[in-house]
């Protein structure tokens, strides 16, 4: 019992990673099943032949279209949308409000009453504002949060600023960024707030799960990048890594994962290569580096990690043991209703478990009967 409690104690520390169905800021990668837009049912993509996007325009399914009516973003708009039955006003498509379709690190949309400003730190305006431009502006000044407003304004703040803010639906933060039309940078009197660790060139991670972005994400990483991140999770027996986005074209741009305890190289991916399937590494200390040359850049990558503690291992072994016992028990139960030989096999199996019998494989049917 004490061992079981210890196993449960270790496992309680392993929390699931931040839930998100999207790792692009505009939800182009959304593949969920929301099928309403502003309360109106979406049309099926195979029934929208009269419009630009349909199953004929996406025969391979690369854009996520198919024989369904789920919200998608095939044209890289600011968020997922769908076609709807045309209204009297001529509206035939609408945006979808999907709370889980925001990149990890997005905090939410909040009201900014203006006096005093919602985020009280340094602020500024930029004619070519992007999400990462504001994040970088606040990060280099030591602030953990950045807020974008009205498409061109950037505010920085702390946890004490964030605590009293009034959260509203993300549809209130609907202004496109002046520097990138595919991104939303707040609204009138509303802030889109992000954590400033997004796109950092170096960071130390100690939580049991998390997300790691390429430098300057969601903007393209720049040429000449040389970044490193450390994942140190005390008492973890293993760490899972999964890539959700990997767009690195230059073969001279390299991502490496090293076991920091042993110094052994666990993974190396060069531009143009495909990332591996989700992989588990038997260590709690990872060192991740990314370098790019001075010629080309690209969208970059998004990877998630999750630590494993003793609970996961213990429950897996327990499940296997229970499954094996049930299989043996039900198998013998069925055989008891069959032939005499089958009944004898099960009887011998139970007797063998009670004693220290020999190799069952060497016992034939006649010797089984003689033992009963």
pLDDT above 80 (res 15): no
Sheet order of strands, 238-247 included? 209-213, 300-308, 238-247, 279-281
List phi, psi (to 5°) of 230: -115, 130
Q: What is the pLDDT of residue 322?
A: 81
* Global pTM value: 0.76
pLDDT tens digits, one per residue of 178-224: 999 999 999 999 999 999 999 999 999 999 999 999 999 999 998 89
pLDDT above 70 (res 344): no
What sign does the CA torsion over 21, 27, 29, 35 have?
positive
Q: Residue 16 and residue 239: Cα distance in Å, rounded?
A: 13
pLDDT tens digits, one per residue of 51-105: 999 999 999 999 999 999 999 999 999 999 999 999 888 899 999 989 899 999 9
pLDDT tens digits, one per residue of 163-183: 999 999 888 999 999 999 999
Strands 285-291 and 226-232, by their bridges, are antiparallel
DSSP assignment string, 20-43: -S-SSTT-TT------EETTEEPP
Sequence ranges of the domains in the chain: 106-195, 312-371
Q: Which of 108, 146, 151 is nearest to 129 (CA)?
A: 151
DSSP 120: -
Q: Which of 62, 61, 32, 33 is nearest to 46 (CA)?
A: 61
List phi, psi (to 5°) of 343: -60, -40
Mean pLDDT, all residues of the chain: 84
Q: Residue 19 and residue 245: Cα distance in Å, rounded?
A: 16
DSSP 17: P
Q: How confident is the model at residue 114 (pLDDT cuts 50, 70, 90)?
A: confident
């Amino acid at each position: 019992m004490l061992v079981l409690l210890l196993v449960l104690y270790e496992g309680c520390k392993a929390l699931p990673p931040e839930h998100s169905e999207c790792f692009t800021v505009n939800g182009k990668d959304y593949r969920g099943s929301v099928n309403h837009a502003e309360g109106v049912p979406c049309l099926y993509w195979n029934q929208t032949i009269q419009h630009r996007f349909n199953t004929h325009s996406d025969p391979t399914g690369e854009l996520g279209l198919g024989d369904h009516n789920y919200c998608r973003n095939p044209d890289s708009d600011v968020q997922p949308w769908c076609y709807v039955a045309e209204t009297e006003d001529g509206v035939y498509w609408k945006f979808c409000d999907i709370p889980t379709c925001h990149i990890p690190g997005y905090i939410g949309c909040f009201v900014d009453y203006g006096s005093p400003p919602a985020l009280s730190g340094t602020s500024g305006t930029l004619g070519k504002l992007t999400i990462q431009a504001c994040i970088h502006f606040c990060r280099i000044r030591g602030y953990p949060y950045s807020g974008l407003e009205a498409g061109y304004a950037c505010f920085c703040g702390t946890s004490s600023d964030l605590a009293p803010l009034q959260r509203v639906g993300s549809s209130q933060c609907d202004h496109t960024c002046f520097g990138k039309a595919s991104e939303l940078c707040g609204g009138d009197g509303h802030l889109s707030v992000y954590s400033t660790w997004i796109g950092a060139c170096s960071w130390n991670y100690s939580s049991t799960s998390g997300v790691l972005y390429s430098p300057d994400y969601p903007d393209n990483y720049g040429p000449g990048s040389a970044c490193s991140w450390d994942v140190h999770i005390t008492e973890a027996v293993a760490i899972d890594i999964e890539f959700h986005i990997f767009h690195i074209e230059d073969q001279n741009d390299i991502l490496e994962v090293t076991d920091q305890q042993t110094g052994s190289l666990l993974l190396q991916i060069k531009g143009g290569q495909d990332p591996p399937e989700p992989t588990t590494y038997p260590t709690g200390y990872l060192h991740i580096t990314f370098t790019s040359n001075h010629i080309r850049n690209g969208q970059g990558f998004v990877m998630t990690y999750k630590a494993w503690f003793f609970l996961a291992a213990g429950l897996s072994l327990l499940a296997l043991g229970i499954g094996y016992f049930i299989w043996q028990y039900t198998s013998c139960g069925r055989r008891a209703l069959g032939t005499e030989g089958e009944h004898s096999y099960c009887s011998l199996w139970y007797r063998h478990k009670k004693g220290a019998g020999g190799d069952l494989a060497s016992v034939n049917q006649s010797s089984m009967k003689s033992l009963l």
